[in-house]
Structure 1
């Protein structure tokens, strides 16, 4: 009996590792889709608020959104889905992944702008302030989602509610940072930009939470079908 247990244990560990990897990969491609959809919503909100949509700007922002969404949601997936819901571990990953993914996404945006010959966004103190906030935001998101993942009875509504509340808080903070930066520079923030910032922060955090839930549900159901 002991020999059989010893033999079956590595197999169970391999199966668990494979399932975790599938969840992370599923979260990554779902995040790409989410990034595109959320950016379309953001552009729609900006247009509704009276903003002008330029082709070059749209392409650069779409590249930034997809990069940001894929990187940060995949990182959150590692913390929440591959670590058996260790909340501290998930929060730590979010703390570092938030700023790094935000910086990488900004680099992609600047690259697209350079290729198109358009003016490039500068890395101002506002950018670094938002970077710092992204670390805090996604540390909280990772910690919270890990806690929700650990509850077997948690449903999609729990993920959406948590993501939306955190996104709402993030929208208020990011808009406040933009307003403070504009005030210090003696300027103002246009209404369409405020609207798009609000939509961006609210829907990205919500979408990332939905990605984690969907990746978990899909891989779990596929595993059941194969048994």
Structure 2
């Protein structure tokens, strides 16, 4: 008789703490690379929209972007690794990580701005508003990604699709809200600011989801071990 039992769900924490540590280390490196890529894309987009970017401000933006990318992607990746593939727990941990990552990223921006004597850019949305939106956004992202990890999705497409869904939903909402609040305050943003905000808010979740996908591939390869060698 054939075995009709369902396959055992993939446990991302299988293989012990060493495998989890290696996965988190890989995600950290990939997240830093993602931060650089995002800042490069934003830089090109700003130039294309007619912005003049002082070198000091560029360093400030890079510091904030990399800090945010590293902390939030590592946070979501760790949540999906140590939660025994329980999506609800991964979502909750990701929800807690996002506001903390935002606070640290903004602190790094202020520190770098003071070091290079760059003019500070006042935030349009309040800390409470943006922190709440980020918590909801990355809590949902962590939950959905944990479900994909649990199901053992081997293709990158579901991860990218989830990232795109989150980015389009929350990124568009944050971008529109930022624009409307700025207009209401009598300081309508220039085109380069609108473009950079939209790119960062909509595209970054896609990149972060892809980083998590790469991280789970690393975990699977570590658990599977080296293949048989030809005699």
TM-score of the alignment, normalized to the shorter chain, above 0.5: yes
Residues of 1 paired with 2:55 and 2:74: CA distance?
A: 28
Q: What's the counterpart of residue 16 of structure 2?
A: 16
1:127 offset after TM fit, Å? 4.1
Q: How far apart in 1 are the matches of 2:86 and 2:54?
A: 44
Aligned to 1:6: none
The alpha carbon displacement at 1:76 in A equals: 0.3
Whole-Å Cα distance in 1 between the matches of residues 152 and 117 of structure 2? Answer: 51
Partner of 1:167: 167
Q: What does 1:1-227 align with in structure 2 at a 5 Å threshold?
A: 15-122=15-122, 125-226=125-226
Alpha carbons 1:45, 1:196 under 8 Å: kept: yes
Q: TM-score, normalised to structure 1's length?
A: 0.88
The answer for unaligned runs of 5 or more in structure 2 is 1-12
CA 1:203 to 1:112, structure 2 compared with 1: closer, same or farther past 3 Å?
Answer: same
Over 3 Å counting, the alpha-carbon distance change for 1:186 and 1:83 in structure 2 is same
Tell me the CA shift for residue 41 of structure 1.
0.8
Is the 1:45–1:195 Cα contact (8 Å) retained in structure 2?
A: yes
After superposing the two structures, state which structure 1 stretch, 163-172 or 134-143, moved more. 163-172
- Gapped runs of 5+ residues in structure 1? 1-12
Root-mean-square deviation (Å): 1.9
Give the Cα–Cα distance (whole angstroms) in 2 for the partners of residues 52 and 207 of structure 1: 26
Separation in structure 1 between the aligned mates of residue 225 and residue 90 of structure 2, nearest angstrom = 29
List structure 1 segments (4+ residues) > 6 angstroms apart after TM superposition: none
- Compare the two structures and name the one with the higher helix fraction: 1
Matched residue SS, 2:101: helix
Question: What's the CA shift for 1:173?
Answer: 1.4
Query: Is the partner of 2:72 in helix, strand or coil?
Result: helix
Moved more, 65-74 or 47-56: 47-56
- Once the two structures are TM-superposed, the CA of residue 16 in structure 1 deviates from its matched residue by 2.3
Query: CA separation in 1, counterparts of 2:56 and 2:44?
Result: 16
Question: Could you tell me how far apart the structure 1 residues matched to 2:173 and 2:225 are?
Answer: 44
Aligned residues: 215
- Counterpart CA distance in 2 for 1:184 and 1:88 is 38
